[in-house]
Structure 1
C-alpha cells in the first residue's frame, strides 16, 4: 500500500516540496565558541534549520513567572528527550530571553546561545535510544519575532500589551519564549506552572489541576497529556472571566473572556457544544478532555487553533470561524504535520468542516463551493504542497485543499467518505502525518478512482475546471 502511494506521489509530482531559503540563518562558524558546531536542523521543507532531527522531545515541564504589566518573563523548562541517534551536541530552538543555566540529567552542562539556537555539549556522547532530561533556566524579555508566512506583519510568541499577555506561535514562534524542538513533527505533552500577580487570571492549553494564591501572587498549573505541536501551545494572562459548562461526552467547555467583553463577541461561541458533537460524528471523538476559547483584548490578531483553547480577537466572528478552529483540534493539533509543506492537511480539512456544518444546518453547499473556486480563480494556481513560507496560509492551502476533499466525497459517496475521515483520524491520532498517509487511507477505502478524483487538485499547477455536477450533484 505505501509503495503504491509513493508511486502515485512520484507520478504526479507530489513528492516533498523542495527546500527553499532557510528562514533561520545558520550561526556563523566564527561566532561559535570552541567545541561547538553549527547545527544542521530537522530538515523540514519550509523551515529546514529549525529543530534537531536527533531529538524526540516527549514532554515539556514549563514554569513561567510573568507580570502582564511588564514585557519580561522568567522560565524554567525541563525537557524529557529520547536521542534518536548518537548526540555529540544537542541543539534546541531558542531565541528567547538570556539563558541563566543548563543542566543535563541534573548536572551543569556547557552551553552556548547563538542566534536562535541553544547548543549544549554533553560530557560524553549521548547514545541512540537514551532517554534524558534537560533543564534550562532563563529570564528577560521574550524574543521579538514576526511571521514570515504573512510577510512579517504579525508578531509571534509571548506577547504583552494593554495589561495582558497571550501566546500566538504558529508557525515558528514557540521558541521565542521557551527552548524546544520547534517543528510540528515532534509533538509532546505539557505540564505548565504559571506564576502571575494576584488579581490576574491565567488560562492555558490543557486541564487546570491546581491553583494557589500566596504572597501577592497566584500559581496555576495545567496538564496536557496528549502530544501537540509546539506552536499550538497557548497561555493567556489578564483581567479575564472564566465561563464553564458541561459539553458532550464529558468534555468541559471553558471560555476565557476579558471583563466587559460585549455580548455579541461572546455569541460567536454559543454553539460550541453542538459543534463538538457534530464534528465527532464525522471525525471521531474529540481528542481532549477540555475545549473552549480565549479572547484576547487585541482586536487585530487572527483566530488561531491553539490546543484545547482556541485564540480569538476581541471582535465579532462568524460561527463558521469558530467551527474552523474547533476542527483544527483534530486536524493540526491531534494529527500534526510531519512537514510544513503539507499544511493543506490542516487548513483544507478545517475549511471543509465549514461546509459539513453548513449542510447540517440545512444550507446548500453550492454557495461555499462557488466562493472557494472564485477565490482560487483570482490568484496564481499551484498544487497543494507548499514550497515556501508565504504559501502556508494562502488560498490554495484552504480552498483548493477543501475542494480536493469535495472531489473525493463526490467520487466515493458520503458513506465511504465518512469512513475515510474517521479511519484517517483514528489511525493517526496523536501522530504526525503526511499527504501520503491520507492518500493511503483514501485508496484503501475508496480505491484507485478515489486518488484519480483528487489528483488534479493535488498536483497543479493549473486550477482544474468544474467537474460535472460539482456544485449541484447530491452526494451519495
Structure 2
C-alpha cells in the first residue's frame, strides 16, 4: 500500500486547498436532514462500502489515504456531496474517471461526468494526504476523529469526527461495510474494527488488512496504532473470537476488568439475542483522559482502571448503536438507554441487589433538566435523560410485561432491525405487537415527558 499511496501522490496535483467560497459550477449542499446535525451527510447518497487505505507514522500528525466509496444514488445526482474536513485532497475520480471537485469547508463537492440517475451504483475514489482536521467536541473539550500521540494513533469519532480523516456520508443512518488496509512502521501494530484477514512485513513497514462485513455507522469505525500486546483468550460461547490490544506495560489491574468479557457476552446474548459480529475485544489507548467508546467490534478504553459496568455498557452498544444504528441523532436514547439498562441486567446476573442502582439513576435524573427522550439540541445528546430516563423507561416496560415478554420484545427488536437504522417508533411497534396497549401506556410517559414519572418500585431485580 505504501507504493500505491506514493503512486497516487505522484500522479495527482498538489493537495487541493480548502476554501469557504463556493466555486463556479458548484451548488451548496443541503445536508442529510438529521435534526441535530442537519448540515452533515447527503440524503441522496447510500454509501454501501468504504475501502480505506491509510498510511501513518506514530508521533506524526499526518495520514495518507485512499478512499474508494461504493455508492447507490437515492435520487438523480448532478453533484456528489461528501463530508470531509480532513487532509488535503490529491485527486478525485468517479467510476475511474477524473472528476472536478472542490473542498469547501467540511464538504468535498464532486461533479460527476454526467447526471447519475436514481438507482445508479457508482464509485468515488479520493486520494488525500496531510494533517487530519482538528475537531474538538464541545461537550467534553476532547479531540474527535484521528488522534495522534507520541506512541501511536487512534480513532475516536462519536458523534461527528469520522470525516476528519476520511471522506464519508457522516450520519449514523447511512451504515456501510469496510475494508481497511493499514500501513505502519515495523515495531508497531495496527488493529481496527472487523476481522483481520492479512498481515505482512515489507520494506520496514507492516501492512495489515481488516474486513468489517456488517454495516456500521461511520462514527463507530476505529483504528489503533501503537506498541500493543495482542491478547486472545479462549473463545466465548457461540464461537466469538475475543482479541484485545493492550499497550506494553499496562498494569494488570487495568486489564483485569476485561477478563469478564466472555461471561458478559453470554448474559447479554440471553436477553438481546446473538452477538452481531464474529469478533469482539477492547483496545486500550495510552491516553488516560478520553472516555470509553463502543467502537465497532473493538471498544476503545483509556489507560485507567474501569468498572465492570463501563465495560459491559460499551459491549451492549455493539447491539444498540453499532448494529441497530440511529436513524437520527435526536433519538440517541435508543443507544444509551439500552446500554445503561444492560448494566442492571449484568448486575442482576451477578446476584446483586439492583434497587440501589435504580435509585441512583432516578436521583441523577431528578437533578437534570426534565425533557422527553427525543433530543432537540446537541447538548442534550449525552445527558442524564438519554442514559437514565431511557433505562428507567425500559425498566417500567419490563415491570409491566414481565421477564418472559420483555425478553421477547428485546430479542425481536434486535433481530428485526439488525444492520438497519432505527427510530423510537420502530421500538414501539415491537412493544405494541407483543405487549399491547398496556405496555405502550407503561413506557409512554417516560418517552414524552417532560415530567418524570414516579420511580418503578414493585418487582425490582
TM-score (norm 2): 0.95
User: What's the offset of the Cα at 1:42?
Assistant: 0.1
SS at match of 2:25: coil
Deviates more, 1:453-462 or 1:429-438: 453-462
User: What's the offset of the Cα at 1:278?
Assistant: 1.1
CA RMSD after TM alignment? 0.9
Correspondence 1:71 to 2:61: yes
Asked if structure 1 preserves the Cα contact closer than 8 Å seen for 2:399 and 2:458, the reply is no
Q: Which residue of 1 aligns with 2:49?
A: 59
Q: Which residue of 2 aligns with 1:33?
A: 23
User: What's the offset of the Cα at 1:473?
Assistant: 2.2
Asked if structure 2 preserves the Cα contact closer than 8 Å seen for 1:365 and 1:471, the reply is no
- Structure 1 segment 236-385 matched on structure 2, within 5 A: 236-245=224-233, 246-385=235-374
Q: Which residue of 2 aligns with 1:11?
A: none
TM-score (norm 1): 0.92
> 2:40 & 2:306 partners in 1: Cα distance?
33
> 2:369 & 2:214 partners in 1: Cα distance?
38
User: What's the offset of the Cα at 1:161?
Assistant: 1.0
> 2:460 & 2:347 partners in 1: Cα distance?
15
Correspondence 1:426 to 2:412: no
SS at match of 2:254: helix
Question: Match for 2:211 among 206, 223, 233?
Answer: 223
User: What's the offset of the Cα at 1:442?
Assistant: 0.3
Q: Which residue of 2 aligns with 1:19?
A: none
> 2:258 & 2:450 partners in 1: Cα distance?
38
Correspondence 1:175 to 2:163: yes
> 1:52 & 1:179 partners in 2: Cα distance?
12
Q: Give unpaired runs (5+ residues) of structure 2.
A: 1-18
Correspondence 1:473 to 2:436: no
Q: Residues 433-453 of structure 1, C-alpha deviation per residue, up to 9 Å, x if partnerless?
A: 000000000000000111111
> 2:199 & 2:459 partners in 1: Cα distance?
55
- Structure 1 segment 180-195 matched on structure 2, within 5 A: 180-195=168-183
User: What's the offset of the Cα at 1:115?
Assistant: 0.1
Q: Give unpaired runs (5+ residues) of structure 1.
A: 1-26
Q: Which residue of 2 aligns with 1:42?
A: 32
Asked if structure 2 preserves the Cα contact closer than 8 Å seen for 1:366 and 1:472, the reply is no
Count of residue pairs brought into register by the alignment:
442
Q: Residues 219-270 of structure 1, C-alpha deviation per residue, up to 9 Å, x if partnerless?
A: 0000010000000000000011100122221110000000000000001101
> 1:271 & 1:229 partners in 2: Cα distance?
27
Correspondence 1:108 to 2:98: yes
> 1:474 & 1:394 partners in 2: Cα distance?
24
Q: Residues 387-416 of structure 1, C-alpha deviation per residue, up to 9 Å, x if partnerless?
A: 111111100000000000000001111010
User: What's the offset of the Cα at 1:300?
Assistant: 0.5
User: What's the offset of the Cα at 1:474?
Assistant: 5.0
Q: Which residue of 1 aligns with 2:151?
A: 163
Q: Which residue of 2 aligns with 1:199?
A: 187
Asked if structure 2 preserves the Cα contact closer than 8 Å seen for 1:370 and 1:471, the reply is no
Q: Which residue of 2 aligns with 1:130?
A: 120
> 2:32 & 2:78 partners in 1: Cα distance?
16
